[in-house]
A and B are shown apart, each in its own frame.
Chain A
Amino acid sequence: DTEVTQTPKHLVMGMTNKKSLKCEQHMGHRAMYWYKQKAKKPPELMFVYSYEKLSINESVPSRFSPECPNSSLLNLHLHALQPEDSALYLCASSQTMDRSSYEQYFGPGTRLTVT
């Protein structure tokens, strides 16, 4: 199974709402990533978890809060977002973070609209 799943596919939320994005993989990968992608732009790294510990936070605002409950699951909790946070949110995984494996498997993404 080489699939990364993400739920929901689409999410519309108001600026005062709290919601969560979910990501799951069953490939035994120990590195998981959150990216944000705006239209016609490259994916921008937000967070990296390595062996369930937060390894990289690319200076992301605190209204985005990641969580890695176990080695297969990755969540992104959203609170008090702004309209400019509307984007495609991508989850990815790789075997590890080190140079032994660089291939990343991406999920289909969650299209988030903040109203």
Chain B
Amino acid sequence: SQKIEQNSEALNIQEGKTATLTCNYTNYSPAYLQWYRQDPGRGPVFLLLIRENEKEKRKERLKVTFDTTLKQSLFHITASQPADSATYLCALDSGGSYIPTFGRGTSLIVHP
């Protein structure tokens, strides 16, 4: 069956360090993968989209990589700040439908 895996344990890091979050998937051949940020009780906010033919995408302090061989995406936040603390969701299209399916997200906590 199709599965999207994100680390359910919270990631705790010190301010200024690089946070790296992982999204693994099985039984998907996605055309794209997205990353969203979600704060408690709020809707997800789109951050970045990377397509199957792209290896890497950057936006300000954010970097996403996409390895279709490993079936994995890595999401990096450099020079992390306490304001980056949130849950980060990956989402990818499920092939037949162009609607993204979301992973359960990983909580990031940046300590001052």
B62-112 residues with Cβ-Cβ distance < 8 A to A are 89, 93, 97-105
Checking A40, A91, A105 against B104 with a beta-carbon cut-off of 8 angstroms, the contacting residue is A40
Q: How large is the interface on B (under 10, 10 to 19, 20 to 34, 35 or more residues)?
A: 20 to 34
Is the beta-carbon distance between A104 and B46 smaller than 8 angstroms? Answer: yes
A56 CA to B99 CA in the complex, in Å? 10
CB of B69 to closest CB in A, whole Å: 22
B44 interfacial by beta-carbon distance below 8 Å = yes
Is the beta-carbon distance between B98 and A99 smaller than 8 angstroms? Answer: yes
A90 interfacial by beta-carbon distance below 8 Å = yes
Chain B residues contacting A106 (CB-CB under 8 Å) are 36, 43-46
A–B pairs, 30, beta carbons within 8 Å = A40-B104, A41-B104, A42-B89, A42-B101, A42-B102, A42-B103, A42-B104, A43-B89, A43-B102, A45-B99, A45-B101, A48-B99, A56-B99, A90-B43, A98-B98, A99-B31, A102-B34, A102-B93, A102-B98, A103-B34, A103-B49, A104-B44, A105-B46, A106-B43, A106-B44, A106-B45, A106-B46, A108-B43, A109-B41, A109-B42
A109 CA to B42 CA in the complex, in Å? 6
Is the beta-carbon distance between A56 and B41 smaller than 8 angstroms? Answer: no
B32 interfacial by beta-carbon distance below 8 Å = yes
Is the beta-carbon distance between A102 and B32 smaller than 8 angstroms? Answer: yes
A73-115 residues with Cβ-Cβ distance < 8 A to B are 88, 90-92, 97-99, 102-109, 111
Of the candidates B41, B89, B101, B103, the one having the most CB atoms from chain A within 10 angstroms of its own CB is: B41
Chain A residues contacting B34 (CB-CB under 8 Å) are 102-103
A101 CA to B97 CA in the complex, in Å? 13
CB of B49 to closest CB in A, whole Å: 6
Chain B residues contacting A45 (CB-CB under 8 Å) are 99, 101
A109 CA to B31 CA in the complex, in Å? 28
Checking A42, A92, A108 against B105 with a beta-carbon cut-off of 8 angstroms, the contacting residue is A42
Chain B residues contacting A105 (CB-CB under 8 Å) are 46
